[in-house]
Structure 1
Amino acid sequence: MVGRGEDGDPAPLSKADFEALARFRFGIRRYLRFSEEVVRRHGLTPQQYQLLLALKGFPARDWATVRELAERLQLRHHSVVELVDRAQKQDLVGRTAHPDDARAVRVVLTAAGEEILGRLASLHRAELSRMAAVLSPPDWHPPG
């Protein structure tokens, strides 16, 4: 738990806190580098993998709108449209009419998208298991 100083500001970090924060940041970067390399070896860009994962992992349904994907991916709407266009040309995703909103479309995974996502997600899960220790959030220590 992060303590507060007398003035309400966060308590200063100890040397152990800096080490834990640096170790955690290194773990995140190492995992992201692993992810970038493994998806490229399988013929996708990191953004395409994130798109497929966002679709498959969307809560309570098997599709999402471009607006929802933009929020999930933290990208601008037009960037997601371009990403979906490229993924659709590779037969990773498809578009279907949205029954409740004529202005929106549903973006869905294709069978090819499902297959490659399954392989890549398994590799990511295995890597996360190997990296569990360095990807655990820092355990804060009081200064001293």
Structure 2
Amino acid sequence: MMDKDETHRRRAVPAKKDLEALSRFRYGLRKFLRYSEDVTQAAGITPLQYALLLHVRGMPGRSWATVGELAERLQAAPNGTVALISRCERAGLVVRRAGEEDRRLVEVHLTPKGERCLLKLANLHLNEIKALSRILAEF
């Protein structure tokens, strides 16, 4: 006779169809990420630089972001995020500004060059994300 814990463990095992769905999801996600890597590099920036541009402009309610917000969105350490911002700044994609309300706060803004680059790449990504959304709809 099985105890409660053993019964729970047996029910927690994913079914074959769940494993197939997870496999399709990982495959679709990897295809999307590979596509993103290819188009960003063809545009002359890295996938991380594109992600930073996207998160700066995609911040809800405004068109700039703080270092802490970017680190969270990128799931990266703050010091690594600062280094990425510096690389983007040297490439002419972003600028740092002191906060208007709190001068201690550093705001990261896109430059016109960064905005053009982001919009071009975002348009390409939107078409590709539709394929991934069909896979997500299976869940």
TM over 0.5: same fold?
Answer: yes
Q: CA deviation at 1:64?
A: 1.0
SS at match of 2:117: helix
Q: Which runs of 5+ in 1 are unaligned?
A: 140-144
8 A contact 2:21–2:138 mirrored in 1? yes
Deviates more, 1:117-126 or 1:59-68: 59-68
Question: Number of matched residues?
Answer: 134
User: Residue 102 of structure 1: CA displacement?
Assistant: 3.1
Structure 2 residue aligned with 1:71: 72
Following the alignment from structure 1 to structure 2, what is the Cα–Cα distance between the partners of residues 12 and 25?
A: 19
Pair 1:137–1:106, CA change in 2 (3 A): same
Answer yes or no: is the 8 Å Cα contact 2:29–2:132 preserved in 1: no
Moved more, 62-71 or 31-40: 62-71
Q: Select the structure that is richer in helix.
A: 2
- What are the within-5 Å matches in structure 2 for residues 86-125 of structure 1? 86-125=87-126
User: What is the aligned-residue RMSD (CA, Å)?
Assistant: 1.9
User: Which stretches in structure 2 are left out of the alignment for 5+ residues?
Assistant: 1-5
The verdict on how the C-alpha distance between 1:131 and 1:77 changes in structure 2, with shifts beyond 3 A counting, is: closer
- CA distance in 1: counterparts of 2:9 and 2:101, whole angstroms: 49
Identity %: 44
After TM superposition, the structure 1 = structure 2 runs for residues 1-144 of structure 1, keeping only pairs within 5 Å, are: 7=8, 11-134=12-135, 136=136, 138-139=138-139
Deviating beyond 6 angstroms after TM superposition, the runs of 4 or more aligned structure 1 residues are none
1:74-111 deviations in Å (ceiling 9; x for gaps): 11111111111110111100111112333321100011
Conservation of the 8 A alpha-carbon contact between 1:17 and 1:138: no
Equivalent residue, structure 2, for 1:142 = none
For 1:115, give the aligned amino acid.
R
TM-score (norm 2): 0.87
Give, in whole Å, the separation in 1 of the partners of 2:133 and 2:117. 24
